[in-house]
Amino acid sequence: MERAVPERLAGHRVVRVQTPLVDSVSCYCRVDAGLKTVVGARKFVPGAKLCLQPEIVPNGTKLRNTHRQRNRNQAPLLPGLPDDLAIACLIRVPRVEHQNLRLVCKRWNKLLCGNYFYSLRKKLGMAEEWVYVIKRDRDGKISWHAFDPTYQIWRSLPPVPADYSEALGFGCAVLSGCYLYLFGGKDPSKGSMRRVVFYNARTNKWHRAPDMLRRRHFFGSCVINNCLYVAGGECEGNQRTLRSAEVYDPNRNRWASITEMNTGMIPFIGVVYEGKWFLKGLDSHRQVMSEVYAPTANTWSTVSGAIVTGWRNPSISLNGRIYASDCRDGCMLRVYEPATDSWDKFMDSKNHLGNAQAFEAASFVSLNGKMGIIRNNMSISLVDVTEPVNIIETNSARAWETLAGKGQLKNLVANLWSSIAGRNGVKGHIVHCQVLQA
């Protein structure tokens, strides 16, 4: 019952109604906020009554309004501009400055650490691609750096995780355009590993991922439909050469077994072509063999013909064609023609660097729509393969350009790479090379 309490105010008698006391058992507002609604609360507090306090709204509207009110009270991202226009300005800031943007304030840091900011950059064609090179130095240590094509400068990166500082035969792949994965490999002291780590190019940090199902090193790997496939390789034990294969789905965040290869293999070259994964390697008797995996059918089959007999490392599948190096420095390319099953067509830069190990082509990558050739001395050449009909065996030299050379490396990191290369031959070599977008 409510109690009327008489009071006198300015000579008049008034009645003040006292707010009823709220029983913690019978009031919905005291029920776990996770229940969200009065209906949900009634399941756990049978017979309870609706709270009569007018400022409490059981359906959570008050909480949402409070959140909106708090947002209105926040300082804008850029003074004088609504946040949507501020974001439109910030997404146009060059990628090299993003680390500095995060230091401005908490709101900027939160914005740049989320997916929304970078999804906008990608949607509007403002995302930038950097080349990431993982190299084994003279002392066997793994180091890595990123190359910014816009400013043509090598950027320093956080060290690789300790498990991979000296690892051998590990895999490297990119998922979702911005996550670089290192997986498997052989630790000099612990042996073969199942470990998986990944680097986020947007936050510049390393993270753990679920381990592979099987320990392995010197295996083959590829990415199809943003899923990571792993097959073959070696492992300690009686059956050293592996037939097993597995796939990692980042959406499910787990590994799953797929059909085993017909024969155990230690792959030394692989490429995804027409939706299939082609692998070439050595079996347990060190005989060269080739297999192809079809993800849609989950089957392996042997493959023969010129597509594998004339296939050389490094190689890449780009714009529906396979390109492979025809010389050590990668200045002449072979092009596979499926209609004739041959490698009869070539692209020649007309400017060969030589056969020294420092100039050896270590990897081919896709960079800003062109093919990038990365060499052990950290020089980079770009080849325009967007119109192969017009440039193959005709004016192909015009399609080549030098993106980074010894004379163009502009910072201390570049000087470090030059000293590693040395004058008497390279003293380190590239293990993996990938392109990440942010």
Q: Map out the domains of the chain with their CATH numbers.
A: 4-68 (no CATH), 74-123 (1.20.1280.50), 132-437 (2.120.10.80)
Describe the chain by its helix, strand, coil percentages, rounded to 5. 20, 35, 45
Read off the pTM.
0.79
The pair of three-digit structure tokens given for residue 330, joined into one six-digit string:
């990668």
Tens digit of each residue's pLDDT, the chain (438 residues): 444 444 444 455 544 444 334 333 333 333 333 434 434 434 443 444 444 333 334 444 444 555 555 556 688 999 999 999 999 999 999 999 999 999 999 999 999 988 899 999 999 999 999 999 999 999 999 999 999 999 999 998 999 999 999 999 999 999 999 999 999 999 999 999 999 999 999 999 999 999 999 999 999 999 999 999 999 999 987 778 999 999 999 999 999 999 999 999 999 999 999 999 999 999 999 999 999 999 999 999 999 999 999 999 999 999 999 999 999 999 999 999 999 999 988 999 988 888 899 999 999 999 999 999 999 999 999 999 886 554 565 567 788 998 876 433 444 444 444 444 444 444 689 999 999 999
Q: Give the whole-angstrom CA distance, residue 283 versus residue 394.
A: 40
The pair of three-digit structure tokens given for residue 152, joined into one six-digit string:
């043509």
Beta bridge partners of 6: 15
Total number of residues shown for the chain = 438
- 28: which DSSP letter? G
